Structure formats: C-alpha cells, structure tokens
C-alpha cells in the first residue's frame, strides 16, 4: 500500500493549520468585542453611580413600626429604593418602596418590623450607593 507523497502531506498540514487558525481568529475577535462592550458598560455604570449618595434620618421605632426619611444626597436619580432590616438572629426583611429619588429629594416611610432589629439599611439601583444605621441610632 502506498502513502501520500510528502509534498501533498505538507500542503494538507498547512491548509489544516490555516483553517484552524482562521476559526480561532474569528472566535477570538468576537470574544474580545463582547468583553470590551461588557467592561465599557460596567465602568460607565460605576462612573455614574459615583455621583450617587443616600442617607437615612429621623428613624423612629414604635408599636412594631419603623418610620423615617430617606434623602438622595447627591446629584443623580436613584431608583429601586429598598429598605433591608437585619435582625439579631441573622434573619432579614426586605421592603421595596417602588420609588425613585431625584437629587436632594426626601421620602418618608413607615413600615412594619419586629422589635429585635439590629441594623437598618437602604439600598438603591447602584450597588455602591447605600446607607446603614445601627439599632442604637433609632429613637424608640
């Protein structure tokens, strides 16, 4: 039985190598483009959120109700305002307020919670923009 000539084998090997390189090149180009777009969007969000700030104030607890104010203290609109109550037994309660706050806007809230709370936290659509208050800072 005869094999293929060395010249044909070399040509086939080069053709195979070039076709694999072409496939990898197309994949790598798409991967790089997607990665660049993702990083760009994330950095844009982080930059915008760096102009955000929020504060809890006037917190009062009475008859298993927590009331107080939330203020947008900086220069961007903050949405998805949510209050998290962290309890001493490591459980938590989440209350979505379904509001957006424009810069310097205040919002008053009144929610039902248990008396064994440890911390009150307000979070926003910007993960780096939140405020947290311990139970010692709440008036009873």
CB 77 within 8 A of CB 101: yes
> What's the pLDDT at 71?
97
The set of residues, in sequence order, having a beta carbon less than 8 Å from that of 139 and lying 6+ positions away, is 59, 60, 61
CB 103 within 8 A of CB 26: no
Q: What is the pTM of this model?
A: 0.71
45 pLDDT more than 80: no
Backbone angles phi, psi at 21, to 5 degrees: -60, -40
Question: For residues 85 and 138, what is the distance between their CA atoms, to the nearest angstrom?
Answer: 12
Q: Report the pLDDT averaged over residues 16-22.
A: 93
Rg of the chain's alpha carbons, rounded to an integer?
28
Q: Report the pLDDT averaged over residues 119-134.
A: 95
Helices vs strands, H then E, count in the chain: 1, 7
> What's the pLDDT at 44?
79
Give the range among 35-44, 100-109, 115-124, 131-140 with minimum mean pLDDT.
35-44
Fold category of 54-137 in CATH: Immunoglobulin-like (2.60.40)
Q: Where are the domains of the chain?
A: 1-49, 54-137
């Amino acid at each position: 039985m005869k094999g293929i000539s060395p010249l044909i084998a070399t040509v086939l090997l080069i053709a195979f190598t070039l076709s694999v390189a072409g496939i990898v090149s197309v994949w790598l180009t798409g991967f790089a483009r997607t990665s660049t777009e993702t990083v760009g969007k994330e950095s844009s969000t982080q930059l915008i959120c760096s102009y955000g700030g929020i504060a809890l104030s006037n917190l009062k607890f009475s008859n298993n109700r927590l009331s107080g104010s939330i203020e947008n203290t900086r220069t961007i609109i903050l949405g998805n305002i949510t209050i998290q109550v962290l309890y001493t037994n490591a459980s938590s309660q989440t209350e979505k307020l379904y509001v957006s706050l424009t810069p310097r806007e205040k919002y008053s809230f009144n929610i039902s919670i248990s008396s064994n709370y440890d911390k009150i936290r307000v979070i926003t659509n910007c993960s780096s923009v939140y405020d947290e208050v311990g139970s010692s800072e709440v008036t009873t």
